[in-house]
Amino acid sequence: MRSIDDLLTRAGVDPAVGIQLIAVNRLVAAPVDPGLPLVLIQSAPPDLADPVLPGRHAHRGPAAVLAALYPPSHGLRNLAGGSDLTVGTIDDDALAAADWLLEALPLEDNLGSPHGMAAISARLRAPDDGCPWDLRQDHRSLRRYLLEEAYETVDAIERGTPADLAEELGDLFLQVILHAQMAAEAGEFDLTDVYRGLGTKIVGRHPHVFGDVTVSGVDEVLANWETLKVAERTDAGLPPGSFADVARALPALAASREIQERASALGWDWTAVEGVWDKVAEEMTEFREAYGPEATLHEMGDVLFALVNLGRWLGLDPEEALREANHRWVARYRAVEALAAERGLHLAALDEDARDALWDEVKRH
């Protein structure tokens, strides 16, 4: 039976400076930090091995987990006296056949774990030799980048490849990292508080998963979610109100959908979609009959609000619908430009009927 002291002696590492000791068959479930030395021991007894949760390295074996966290050339020293290997050459069988040591990665190479990115952001904002641009930023100056990265992530979901989405999610996560780093420097909170707050919220709002609550379907899940949010605000001493925390910076269509989804979850809704269609028609009539800029603006808002609600009833996202309409219109206009150029026509010189004819021709095809 190998003792821990014997393993550390053979590895030549001082536990006082930090060490990870993980059994190979627990590697797929362990939160590995490549910034610390890692000693891998042969498999623990089955009753000590964590189950692999879906989505958490579920498609990877131990060797593939190492490949995701370390460069292929990173060495593994065989603590049993056998041949040393690299992350790029070792397989699951070899990992399970001996005890291994992986030295800590330098900061700039610890790129496959959240531990590394948090340390990199701290380095960027080091007062003496950090990045001048990063040192000039604060929460307010980064607002525009947070919004831009969120929209670019949505664009990658709609039109990009999996690689594009992975990149944009990384850019979006960087904003979270930077805001947490600045708050940590001010002694307000750090990334662990972000993780803890998120985990606590998600577990607490899913009592049908992590507790003994039974739900009949999605509608009841959403209703419970809104009820729990109201209770959380009350417990935290925040102002009451089911809509008090709707973000003011949300785009208007998204905010409208959020408001109406919450209202529905609280029981404030139509009994059938026919009533929603009638409301859209009513608001359109009032819009047509409005007089003056102020009244017209008011009624236009009511029309949009009613349309957002109709989209919710039909299972459609109004933001996505309008975004697709924007893309579709621009694509058709470009096709009209190309068709006009092909025929030697100048769009600016065409009358309305001629422009409409080109538009309809493109639309048909």
What is the pLDDT, as a whole number, of residue 103? Answer: 93
Whole-number percent of the chain with pLDDT over 70 = 91
Which run of H or E residues covers position 364?
Answer: helix 352-364
Tell me if 255 is assigned to some domain. Answer: no
CATH number at residue 172: 1.10.287.1080
What is the pLDDT, as a whole number, of residue 217? Answer: 87
Tell me if 337 is assigned to some domain. Answer: yes
Q: Name the average pLDDT for the chain.
A: 85
Q: For residues 234 and 66, which has the higher predicted lDDT (pLDDT)?
A: 66
Residue 55 has pLDDT above 70, yes or no: no
Residue 22 has pLDDT above 90, yes or no: no
The reply to whether 12 and 100 lie within a common domain is yes
The reply to whether 130 and 199 lie within a common domain is yes
Tell me if 232 is assigned to some domain. Answer: no
Cα(314)–Cα(311) distance, rounded to whole angstroms?
Answer: 5
- Count how many domains the chain has: 3
Residue 271 has pLDDT above 70, yes or no: yes
What is the pLDDT, as a whole number, of residue 166? Answer: 94
The reply to whether 9 and 81 lie within a common domain is yes
Backbone angles phi, psi at 49, to 5 degrees: -85, 130
The reply to whether 122 and 46 lie within a common domain is no
Of the candidates 232, 228, 211, the one whose C-alpha atom is nearest the C-alpha of residue 220 is 228
The reply to whether 174 and 79 lie within a common domain is no
The reply to whether 16 and 81 lie within a common domain is yes
Tell me if 251 is assigned to some domain. Answer: no
The reply to whether 66 and 93 lie within a common domain is yes
What is the pLDDT, as a whole number, of residue 58? Answer: 54
- What would the pLDDT profile of 8-18 be if each residue is shown by its tens digit? 788 888 777 78
Backbone angles phi, psi at 252, to 5 degrees: -60, -40
CB 358 within 8 A of CB 340: yes
Mean pLDDT of 93-107: 90
Domain boundary among 204, 222, 242: 204
Residue 47 has pLDDT above 60, yes or no: no
Q: How confident is the model at residue 126 (pLDDT cuts 50, 70, 90)?
A: very high
Domain boundary among 88, 107, 126: 107
Give the range of the structural domain holding residue 342, as residue numbers without chain letter.
319-364
What is the pLDDT, as a whole number, of residue 50? Answer: 54
Tell me if 296 is assigned to some domain. Answer: no
CB 40 within 8 A of CB 99: yes
Counting Cβ atoms within 10 Å, is residue 116 exposed (0-12), middle (13-18) or buried (19+)?
A: buried
What is the pLDDT, as a whole number, of residue 1? Answer: 45
The reply to whether 157 and 96 lie within a common domain is no
Residue at 270: amino acid letter: W
The reply to whether 69 and 159 lie within a common domain is no
Tell me if 233 is assigned to some domain. Answer: no
Q: For residues 275 and 5, which has the higher predicted lDDT (pLDDT)?
A: 275
Mean pLDDT of 53-66: 70
Domain boundary among 150, 170, 204: 204
The reply to whether 82 and 119 lie within a common domain is no
CATH number at residue 55: 3.30.950
The reply to whether 95 and 136 lie within a common domain is no
- What would the pLDDT profile of 277-301 be if each residue is shown by its tens digit? 999 999 999 999 998 989 999 999 9
Tell me if 79 is assigned to some domain. Answer: yes
CB 90 within 8 A of CB 134: no
Mean pLDDT of 157-170: 93
The reply to whether 95 and 18 lie within a common domain is yes
What is the pLDDT, as a whole number, of residue 303? Answer: 93
Cα(196)–Cα(206) distance, rounded to whole angstroms?
Answer: 16
**Which residues, at least 6 apart from 206, have a Cβ–Cβ distance to it below 8 Å?**
none
Q: What is the DSSP string of 3-58?
A: -HHHHHHHHT--GGG--EEEEGGGGGGS---TTS-EEEESPPPGGGSPPPPTTSST
- What would the pLDDT profile of 229-242 be if each residue is shown by its tens digit? 777 777 766 665 66
- What would the pLDDT profile of 305-327 be if each residue is shown by its tens digit? 999 999 999 988 888 888 888 88
Q: For residues 46 and 235, which has the higher predicted lDDT (pLDDT)?
A: 235
